[in-house]
Structure formats: structure tokens, C-alpha cells
């Protein structure tokens, strides 16, 4: 059994409902959800002239390989209406693999751990909620430590009613 931590996010349509839909699809197609963070709202990162994002981390247990998981994720994104026409542009859903076991994978289509995880507060905050003591396999620091050291100053707000 493999453990993966995913980040879901989106800033188009009903953002909360889209995160719920993605979590349900992942539960049916990828594996057992073992942890689900709260929902966090953040300003757009990289391209700021767009609506704010809702983000959520999901911990799953899966029998899938990392590459198989990526293919399932891309199929879910496509079914939900994800278009890949603008880097950092608005999106209905985005699902990233942040961590997969303690693996380090460097393939053209898949990099694990996510190469910008340590630089993104919007990913670290929800991940720390469900995996605070998990060790980053490259930096050899816990997710909590990475969050404390993160220089990203974009505000990240946990939503109360989610």
C-alpha cells in the first residue's frame, strides 16, 4: 500500500463543491482517503489578476503507482472540465501530487515531491494540518518545519464553515 498526499484547488465556479467532487472521485478511483484538511482560501499565485483559490489537501492510501495515480488525476481533472491552456491561469480544478511515500521521482511528466512545495504556503498550510510530521524526502525536514521556514507571504486563510 502506498501513501500519497495531494493538493486540490480551483478558482472557477463553485469552488467548495468542485473540491468535494474531486475528493469523491479520488476516493472512488484512486484509493482510500485517510485524511482531509480543511479548505483554505488564497490569492492566486503566479498570475494574480484572477479570483482567489480554494485549496485542500487529501491523504490517500492507494495500490496505484505514482504514474498510475497521475493518469487517474488527469482523467478526473478532464472530466471536471479542466483546461490546460494558460500556465497559472484560472481553473475549475487542479490536483497535484505533493508527496508519494518517501519517493523521489524525476520524470518529464511527474516530479515528486512537488518541486515547488516548500515555496508555497497555500500547499504547506493544508498539508501541515494532516501531515505535520511527515518528512520531505529531499529537504529532510517535516512539513511543519517547512511551513515555519516558508518565505511565501501570500495570505492563506482557513475557512471556518468548511
What residues does each domain of the chain span?
Answer: 2-158
Is 94 assigned a catalytic role?
Answer: yes
Is 152 assigned a catalytic role?
Answer: no
8 A C-beta contact, residue 45 and residue 154: yes
Structural element, H or E, at residue 105: strand 105-107
**Spatial distance between the Cα atoms of 110 and 68, rounded to a whole number of angstroms:** 11
Collapsing DSSP to helix, strand or coil, 103 comes out as coil
Convert the pLDDT of each residue in 53-93 to its tens digit: 999 999 999 999 999 999 999 999 999 987 766 666 688 99
Which is the CATH superfamily of the domain at 2-158?
Answer: 7,8-Dihydro-6-hydroxymethylpterin-pyrophosphokinase HPPK (3.30.70.560)
Is 91 assigned a catalytic role?
Answer: yes
Q: Write phi, then psi, for 148 (nearest 5 degrees).
A: -65, -35
Is 96 assigned a catalytic role?
Answer: yes
8 A C-beta contact, residue 40 and residue 158: yes
pLDDT, residue 91, reads: 87
User: Among the options 84, 85, 91, 103, which is catalytic?
Assistant: 91
**Spatial distance between the Cα atoms of 25 and 23, rounded to a whole number of angstroms:** 5
**Spatial distance between the Cα atoms of 58 and 130, rounded to a whole number of angstroms:** 8
Which runs of E-coded beta strand occur in the chain?
2-10, 32-36, 40-42, 53-62, 94-100, 105-107, 110-112, 156-158
**Spatial distance between the Cα atoms of 37 and 158, rounded to a whole number of angstroms:** 10
Q: Write phi, then psi, for 39 (nearest 5 degrees).
A: -100, 135
pLDDT, residue 61, reads: 98
Task: Give this prediction's pTM.
Answer: 0.94
> In the predicted model, what is the mean pLDDT of the chain?
93
Amino acid at each position: 500500500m502506498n501513501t500519497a498526499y495531494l493538493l486540490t484547488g480551483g478558482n472557477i465556479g463553485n469552488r467548495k463543491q468542485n473540491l468535494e467532487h474531486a475528493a469523491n472521485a479520488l476516493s472512488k478511483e484512486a484509493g482510500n482517503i485517510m485524511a482531509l484538511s480543511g479548505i483554505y482560501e488564497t490569492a492566486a499565485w503566479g498570475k494574480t489578476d484572477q479570483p482567489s483559490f480554494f485549496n485542500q489537501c487529501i491523504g490517500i492510501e492507494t495500490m496505484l503507482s505514482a504514474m498510475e495515480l497521475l493518469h487517474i488525476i488527469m482523467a478526473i481533472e478532464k472530466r471536471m472540465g479542466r483546461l490546460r491552456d494558460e500556465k497559472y491561469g484560472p481553473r475549475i480544478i487542479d490536483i497535484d501530487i505533493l508527496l508519494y511515500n518517501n519517493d523521489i521521482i524525476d520524470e518529464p511528466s511527474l516530479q515528486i515531491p512537488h518541486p515547488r512545495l516548500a515555496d508555497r504556503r497555500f500547499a504547506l498550510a493544508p498539508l501541515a494540518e494532516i501531515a505535520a510530521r511527515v518528512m520531505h524526502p529531499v529537504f529532510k525536514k517535516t512539513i511543519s518545519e517547512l511551513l515555519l521556514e516558508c518565505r511565501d507571504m501570500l495570505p492563506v486563510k482557513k475557512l471556518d464553515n468548511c
